[in-house]
Chain A
Amino acid sequence: MLKIGRFKETLVEGIIKTSGIASIFVVTLIFFFLLKEGVFLFKTVHLHDFLLGRSWYPISDPPEFGILPLIYGTLLVTAGAAVLAVPLGIGAAIYIAEVAPPKLKEILKSGIELLAAIPSVVLGFIGIVTIVPWARQFFHIPTGLTAFSGSVILAFMAMPTIVSIAEDSLHSVPKSYKEGAYALGATRWQTIYRVVIPACSSGMLAAVMLGIGRVVGETMAVMMVTGNSASLARGIFSPARTLTATIAAEMGETVQGSDHYFALFSIGIVLFLITFAINMTADFMIHRKRK
């Protein structure tokens, strides 16, 4: 009897262990595959020229593989999205967690979950027919396919992540902190601003970082609305192209084993490192909160 029990225990432990290790194993495999395919580029192209080269002409003769415009495009679109999504998202989270009456709270929460469920291609499509023409007319620019349009769409995609994680962290603030502040004659806003938010600031930062992580990795919607011009964009109101969109747009046209093919994998490595850094920062902040 005892033996069977112990066998079961070992079996379950083994299964759990395997699933745990499997996820890490797969990630490691993906990373090595990326690395293996990506490094071949650097036989012909210098790392410096790759990261800081100002032109991306992969099919000219001779080809140029400078991804600076793409990195710039990604940063531009991401920054724009962050500027829009962070204040809105944090504001929405505070409203939902602290201010909204219970019924409205439920409605808003399901609304935001719904926003998270919209496929990115649908958002991109909506962006093309609404935001793009609107931006062209409103800002009097030659085309609405700009980094700005991408930022707006991405802000919508980052919002659900930011709101739900920020709201969770607001909820984790002990009720007694709030009562303590109220009992000292603080108003609702003073309590939120001086006690609740400082108490969960690391959770809030994690929410922002994960939202930004989502934005950096997003492909389809961005590709549809940013205009995909791989030149160093002059500003937020000119067309831009992101790292992700470049891979998605060009992967189908490359010959396997060509420099272009390897260059796209190298972009993949850069992207991987960026999102990895963002997620690590977020993770670090969440753990600091738990301490």
Chain B
Amino acid sequence: MVTPSPDCNDLKDRFASANQSGDGVKIEIQNLTASFSNHGALDNVNLSIVSNEILSVIGPANSGKTTLLRTLNRLNDLTQSFQMTGRVLLDGRDIYKEYDPVILRRKVGVIFALPMPLPMTVFENIVYGLRRQGVNDRKKLSRIAEKALTDAYLWDEVKDRLEEEAPKLSGGQQQRLCIARTLALNPDVILFDEPCSGLDPISTAKIEEAMMKLKSQYTIVLVTNNTKQAARVGDRTAFFLMGKLIEVGETAKLFTAPTDSRTEGYISGRFG
């Protein structure tokens, strides 16, 4: 059964304050509607993401989960047919108006479903983003790389393989490498797009462990097809269906006593 996470009460307090004064809200999504060549993907979504929480996003295929995620760091900009209305605020500032996408993506990192190491060495993968910001001091890079790899639970496995080509690592290691690569940039928010869909249970457990630990420093949004995973790691869970946000709430409540019958249907496995 689902056990509520221990800091649940603490989180509740933060929600309370978030709702009153706007403090603690990291990302505010307002009336977000998005489409690809007139094919609707998100329909009038309103959602707040609180600092230092893990928000799980669940829903069947085509529910708009990934589109939502890719909107949060403007990766959808790369798709020509993408259109959207509404606002997304990061720390109270509109990411589509007041942020340069390059700066935004340094603050809002993303981990893709398929691990995507760049075709270079493990070390260069980690420091890629830093180098692009003009950091070239080898000592500093090494220090950041070690910390990032440690936080991603990967350091022990790759500390002697830093000069190997990253695509040679195993799938689970590649995925943690991608997490480390994002951590090295010291982002505020990390988006996980079904990060464990191609991984074995042990690698999955390691990544979940990393996520639980990372939330003390980062705000995490986890899109997952695995409702059990959402229940295990999410502080709150949002359920999407056909581009609509059906329900959002504390994970324990959403999984035990959902208010919407469609949510119940999905989590009990009746569809999706």
Q: List the interface of chain A (C-beta within 8 A of B).
A: 102, 176-187, 190, 194-195, 198-199
A186-B102, A187-B102 in contact; A181/B128 too (CB < 8 A)?
A: yes
Q: Which 7 A-B pairs have the closest CB atoms?
A: A185-B106, A184-B129, A180-B116, A176-B116, A185-B105, A183-B110, A186-B132
Given contacts A177-B116, A184-B185, A186-B102, contact A194 B78 (CB under 8 A): no
CA distance A183 to B109 in the complex (A): 6
Q: Which of A179, A190, A194, A198 contacts B116 (CB under 8 A)? A: A179
Q: Smallest CB–CB gap between B78 and chain A, Å?
A: 7
Interface contact B118-A183, CB-CB below 8 Å = no
Residues of B within 8 A of A184 (CB): 105-106, 109, 128-129, 132, 181-182, 185
B73 contacts which chain A residues (CB < 8 A)?
Answer: 183
In the bound complex, CA of A183 to CA of B102 (Å): 8
List the A residue with the shortest CB-CB distance to B111: A183
Which of B116, B118, B133 makes the CB contact (< 8 A) with A185? B133
A182 to B132, CA, bound (A): 11
Contacting pair B118 A180 (CB below 8 A) = yes
14 extra interface residue pairs, beta carbon distance < 8 Å, beyond A184-B181, A186-B132: A176-B114, A176-B116, A177-B116, A179-B112, A181-B128, A182-B75, A183-B109, A184-B109, A184-B132, A185-B103, A185-B132, A187-B132, A195-B118, A198-B119
| B80 close to chain A: CB less than 8 A | yes
B233 to chain A, nearest CB (A): 21
Chain B 97-126, CB within 8 Å of chain A: the 1/0 string?
Answer: 000001101100110101011111000000
Number of interface residues of B (CB under 8 A): 25
A182 touches B116 (CB 8 A): no
A-B pairs with beta carbons under 8 Å apart, 14 shown? A176-B112, A176-B116, A179-B75, A179-B78, A179-B112, A180-B117, A181-B128, A182-B78, A184-B132, A185-B102, A186-B129, A194-B128, A194-B132, A195-B118
Contacts of A183 on B, CB cut-off 8 Å?
73, 75, 105, 109-110, 112, 182
Residues of A within 8 A of B105 (CB): 182-185
A102 to B79, CA, bound (A): 11
Contact A185 B129 (CB under 8 A): yes
* B75–A185 CB distance below 8 A: no
Report the separation of the CA atoms of residues A32 and B254 in the bound assembly, to the nearest whole angstrom: 81
Q: Give Cα A176–Cα B109 distance, bound, in whole angstroms.
A: 15
Complex CA–CA separation, A194 to B119 (angstroms): 10
A74 to B129, CA, bound (A): 46
Bound Cα distance A187, B102 (Å):
6
- Nearest opposing residue in chain B for A101, CB measure: B80
Residue in chain A with minimal CB distance to B107:
A185
Q: How far apart sit A176 and B167, CA to CA, in the bound complex (Å)?
A: 13
Given the complex, which residues of B lie within 8 Å of A185, measured CB to CB?
Answer: 102-103, 105-106, 129, 132-133, 185
Cross-chain contact A190 with B132 (CB below 8 angstroms) = yes
Please measure, in the bound complex, the distance between the C-alpha atom of A177 and the C-alpha atom of B178, giving whole angstroms. Answer: 12
Q: Mark B128-172, 1 if CB is under 8 A from A, else 0.
A: 110011000000000000000000000000000000000000000
Query: Which B-chain residue is minimally distant from A190 (CB atoms)?
Result: B132
- Please indicate the chain B residues that have their CB under 8 angstroms from the CB of A180 in the complex: 112, 116-118, 178
What residues of chain A lie closer than 8 Å to B182, measured between beta carbons? Answer: 183-184
Shortest distance between the CB of A160 and any CB in chain B (Å): 26
Contact B128 A186 (CB under 8 A): yes
Chain A contacts for B117, CB-based, 8 A: 180
Map CB proximity to A onto B197-216 as digits: 1 under 8 Å, 0 otherwise.
00000000000000000000
The distance in angstroms between the C-alpha atoms of A198 and B121, with both chains bound, is: 13
Q: How far is the CA of A185 from the CA of B74 in the complex (A)?
A: 11
Name the B residues within 8 Å of A182 (CB-CB): 75, 78, 105
Cα A182 to Cα B106 with chains together (Å): 9
Q: Give min CB distance, B46 to chain A, whole Å.
A: 25
